[in-house]
Every structure is written in C-alpha cells, then in structure tokens.
Structure 1
Amino acid sequence: MTEGNFTDYVRIYASSGKGGRGSAHLRREKYVAKGGPDGGDGGRGGHVIIRGNANLWTLIHFKFKKHFRAGHGGDGGKSRSTGADGDDVYMEVPLGTVVRDVETKKILFEVTEDKEEIVLLDGGKGGLGNWHFKSATNQTPRYAQTGIEGKESEFILELKLLADVGLVGFPNAGKSTLLSVITSAKPKIADYPFTTLKPNLGIVEYRDFRSFVMADIPGIIEGAAEGKGLGHYFLRHIERNSILLFLVPADADDVAREYNILLNELKRYNPELLDKERLVAISKSDMLDDELKRELKSELDTQLKGVSYMFISSVAQTGIQELKDKLWDMLNPVEV
C-alpha cells in the first residue's frame, strides 16, 4: 500500500429513507357497493448500513463519495397492498473502523469482524393504511398515516490499523527501512524527520508459509500525547496492535532514555497500551563494535527492567531472522 493511497480519517453525510404513505383506499367492486376500507401500509424507508470488509485496508473510497442517501419507502395500495421498502445503502469499511458522531465526537460503534453489519441510520416507518382505523363507530375511515421522515446526520470514520506488530520509535529510528527489509512493503525512506506521514502496512513472511502483519507508525516526538508533531493522528493506530516493537537507534545518546520517553507518551495517551507485550530492537547496530555492544548490553540489562531487547541492522540484515522468530513466538505463545 502506498502512502498516497492510505486514508484513515473521513467525514461523511448520510440520510435514511422516508417511510411511504399509507393508503386511504375504499374497496369498490361491481357487486360490492360498500366494501369498506382496504388501504395498505406504506413501505419502510431504506436503512444506512455499515458493513465490515476484511479485503479493505483503507478509507480512500470515501474521499470521492461522501454523501449516502437511502431510498424512500413506497406508498401503500388497494387490497391492503403494502408499499415496497426503500433501498438500503451499504457502506463497506475496513476492519478496525471507528464511527463517531460529528457533534459530540462520541464513539458510536467499532467494526471488527468481516461481513459484520450495523445499522447507522434507521429508515422511517411506513404509515398505516385506513383499514387499521376501521371501528364500529367509523366504518369507512377516509384517512391514513403519512410515513415517518428518515434521519440524517454527519459522521466521522476513523481507521485503527488491525496489525499484529506496531513499530514505535522517534523519527529516523529506521522503522521504514526495517519494514522494507522484513516485508514486501515499499515505504518512503529518506534521512529527515517525519519521512513517514501515514502508516504503512506490510506482510512478514515467516517459516512454513506462515505470516503476520506489521505496521510502521509515523515517528513519535515528546508531547505527542498532547497533539504535538503528528499527535493523535497516529497514536490511535497503536491501540489495535498485539505487540509493540520499540525501535531505538544504536547511535542514540541514551537508548534507555529514548525508550522511556516513547513509553511515557503512550502511557499519557492511553495507559492501557502499557498492558501490551513489548520488545525493544536496537537498530543500526552495525555501527557498534563488540566492545561497545557489550557495554550497551550491560547498561540495558539494568535499565530496561526485564523488557526483552535485541540488536538488529536493517542495512546489514543482521538479527532480522532472530527478530522474526522472537515476534512469532510472542504472537503464538506455546501453551504449557
């Protein structure tokens, strides 16, 4: 998936259909002079329905169509004929889509299963025909109900990536380079901050034709939880990842400090993120000789407080297979 084709936030307008009018028809046949009321009910207005689609990875199709209107219900007819229901409108969304109300910003629901259908707006109920109003004192009612109006509103669709592993790190930590090496993804790579402006997804091919999904999240800076840098724009994607892979470059001034800053930003955004499994990868480790690596190991053993870490180099492609093995074991723990 290219960065330009990835859309994870859209605003849409939707309106459900109006219910059809009930009929006030009176039965009249050649040998039935006063047959009484036989007006049918109006049809239901069309619903606006959100449907999950496991084959979609982005909301880009909503960039070109943002207005959705369901069909109106048909009017009732004679002989108690009910009007046709209005056509429903289906909006296909990728799994992990969150639907919010524009005014309140409240989350209405989340779509997490393939072919899951949730009614966003109910269609208006059809009006009752006049035969419903017949009584002993009113043998020939000449009135019927009009249909109920449909509903309309604006909504926000947000996509939270459903990836197995989320890459977390400062800008230029080497996340895009790692993703390009470990998967078939081709993210934009350059030597300046915020090269990645939107998340990239890649499929990691593992042994015996098995695989898992990795997401490169745009780089975090201090204050991201308050919206600095790319702020909440990307932090919400981390909520869906099973494992968080922290990437810290070996040439950082203080590896443990950078990791703790990243961890603190996630905690301030959503403390529940700290419940996820974590792995620290020291990238660009080809810059370290054996002595420097031993010194750094000694420091990290005490500073990372039991969090697993490993040394990798995307350029030299060292430690990549070991990283795959570790991530696979974390995603598929062996039950004892």
Structure 2
Amino acid sequence: MRVAVVGATGAVGQTILRVMEERGFELEELVPFASQRSAGREIEWRGSSVRVEPLVEGAERGFDLALFSAGSKVSREWAPRFVEAGAVVVDNSSQWRMEPDVPLVVAEVNPEALDAHRGIVANPNCSTMQMVVVLKPILDAVGIERVVVSTYQAVSGTGQRAIEELHRQSEALIEAEELPPPRVYPHRIAFNVLPQVETFKDGDDYTTEERKMMFETRKILGRDDIGVSATCARVPVFSGHSESVNVQTVEPLSPEECRRLLAQAPGVVVVDEPHAARYPLPIEAAGRDEVFVGRIRRDPSHERCLNMWIVADNLRKGAATNAVQLAELLVERGLLRAAAAGR
C-alpha cells in the first residue's frame, strides 16, 4: 500500500506520522507532501529520512490512501485529484464535513458510515470529536434531547504559529519586556481568554467553530432532532481542549449510572473523584488517545440533565489519531480496494 500524508510538516501532519508509527500502520511506501516552502525538507520516518515533496501536477498518482491535514483550500483542490487517481482521502479540514454524501466519522461512534464513502471521508472538528465519543453511549442508553457545551480550546488547535505566539507573549510578560503585537488572534492570548474561536460570518452571532459543533454533532450521531448550543473560547493552554457539557436526556440517568456506562465505553476514561482533586486535566491528557470525562453531576435545575467535564488531546484524538483509526478501518473493511475497483 502506498500512502500520502498531505500537510506532513504541520502540527497535525507531524502527529499523524507519529501515530502511524506508534500503531504500526502497515504500508509499503509513505510519501509526505507539504507547501513549496517546506518541500525538500527531510523528516524522520521509522528510523529513516524521507524527503518532503511539493504538490505539483501529477503528484497525486499511484496512491491507495491519502491523509490530508493542509487546510480547506488545499483539500478543495487536491482531494478530488487524489480520488480521481485512485486513492481514498481522509481529510482533516472543514472542507467536506457538511457535504451530505461525504461520511463524517468518529471511529468509536459511527464506523459503519465509512461503507458509504465515495472517495472522501471527513474527520470531524476536534471539539466535536471528543464530545461525541462521550455522548454516543448516553444516546444509546437513554436518548438525548439537548446538549449545551462551552469549550476551552488550546492554541495548538490553530497551528504552530499560535503556539509560538503564546510562547512569545508569555515570555515577554514574565520578563517585563515589550509585548509583541498579536498576529494570529485578534487580541493577546497570554494570560487571557478569548470568547471567539474562528470567525463570525455576516448576520450570524455564532462563530464558524460553534456552527461546526452544532451541525457535526447531529450528523455524526445521525440525529437531527437533538438540540445543540455551543460557545467556544480560546484559552492560553498549549495542548488539550476542555469542555463543560450539559446533557438533557430523554430518560432519567443518575450520575452513578452515567459513570458506570462511560467506564465501559470504547475510548473513554472516567476520572471523577473531585473531592480528591481528581478530574480530567489537559496536561494529563497530553500525548494520550483517550477522551477523559469527570465532574459528572446532576443539574439541580432539571431532573433529566447532567453536567460533565470532557478533556482530550486535540492534536491526537481530536485530529491525527482518529484519522489513522479511520485509515485502519478502511483497510480492515476492504474499502480501499473496493473504491479503486469501482473507479
């Protein structure tokens, strides 16, 4: 099998390569692609150096699988080219998620959706991803009527430049030096909280990130009747997204029952001893592929509502790990060969 990783030098692309190596993903040849600026660099892959190639005419030929993490513009142009040339694309951008004929898949939640792919499979938004891994067992057990989520998102979700900006600003403030002007975010992120993740479209009071969470949650869970409301904030944390989630169920579910249910769910770790100061933390989720949940408690304002706190590594389970899991599932189900034969 010949595999392309498009956007291999970015934060998610590098994590994809690391996760593939850790999980022993089987392939004959890996070809990393990046922008012209990064092309020609050498990256480490399984003990050897591999040259990063540019995306140029004809680069898409001869691949069975392509993992994309290079942004919507690149995906819009190049994903169809790779598909036409015979590959199946797993795309991390937002370009294809809302397309009705493109499966939006989380490995632990709706793997059966892969069977309907037509060449492109979309990887969900990182904040949506970690939330639906926790919501799915609850939905199956007692049903869900409504979800209200507030996110506390790390700067690594924006990319390497945002990580560097937080580092430079924090260093300047600690050393009492002149503060560099913000370039990635509209305001200083160091020692601050920004109630805006991504952008506002004309006439909409919700950001594009908040709209993604609302739409993607319903699409992944296959339930248009679930109400979803989101407020997304950026916090001065390098890695790991946190979420405060309020879930209104159809049938009653006690906190104790919820803990037992989630403790058995694939990909979920329950950390819920708040009186001993044990609850999910982004620094403890860093480098892990599980989704962590704690602070599970009854909402005193509603008999069928629970509050909970959900944390995950946004670069791993929120992006790279799920992409590699989807690639593994495509191989296991014979969906790469079937796609190539169909074309």
Q: Which structure carries more helix by proportion? A: 2
Q: TM-score, normalised by structure 1?
A: 0.26
Q: TM-score, normalised by structure 2?
A: 0.26
